[in-house]
Amino acid sequence: MDTVRNPIIIDQYYCLSKSCLNQTSAVYVSDVSYTGIRGTYDVRSPPIHFGCSDSVPCTNITLSEVELLPAQGDFISDPFCWNAYGATETLTIPPVSCLSEGLPQSIMDIDSDKCYRGS
């Protein structure tokens, strides 16, 4: 990656127009791994952004061997996490301490409605 805006992002609140309402439901995002990602980011936005729904949190997000440095300017040391659960397997740059550990209390309700991809 070279001077990328939003190199690592999950955004359940994404909307193409500015008039979108903040929805309470979202697609269930789980088992996402970011591994071996290196490069530079544009400091106009955080290099790591996990914006997950209040009612449908993101779960089991894993980061390993992630090294993102600013292309120019100051290092952004505070990635954004909202209702995101997961862990870092190795030291990441920038450090990601905002992921919640374990699973949310409501995960059992989500699992019963999950769609599975056939093998």
Distance CA 54, CA 26 (A): 9
pLDDT band at 22 (very low <50, low <70, confident <90, very high): low
Residue 101 is predicted with a pLDDT of 93
Q: Is the pLDDT of residue 24 over 80?
A: no
pLDDT for position 114: 52
Query: What average pLDDT does the segment 92-98 reach?
Result: 93
pLDDT band at 119 (very low <50, low <70, confident <90, very high): very low
106 residue type, one letter? S
Mean pLDDT of the chain: 84
The 3 state secondary structure assigned to the chain is CCCECCCEEEECCCCCCCCCCCCCCCCCCEEEEEEEEEEEECCCCCCEEEECCCCCCEEEEEEEEEEEEECCCCCCCCCEEECEEEEECCCCECCCCCCECCCCCCHHHHHHCCCCCCC
Instruction: Read off the pLDDT of each residue in 25-44 and give the average, rounded to a whole number.
Output: 90
Phi, psi dihedrals of residue 110, rounded to the nearest 5°:
-70, -45
Q: Which of 24-33, 73-82, 103-112 has the highest mean pLDDT?
A: 73-82
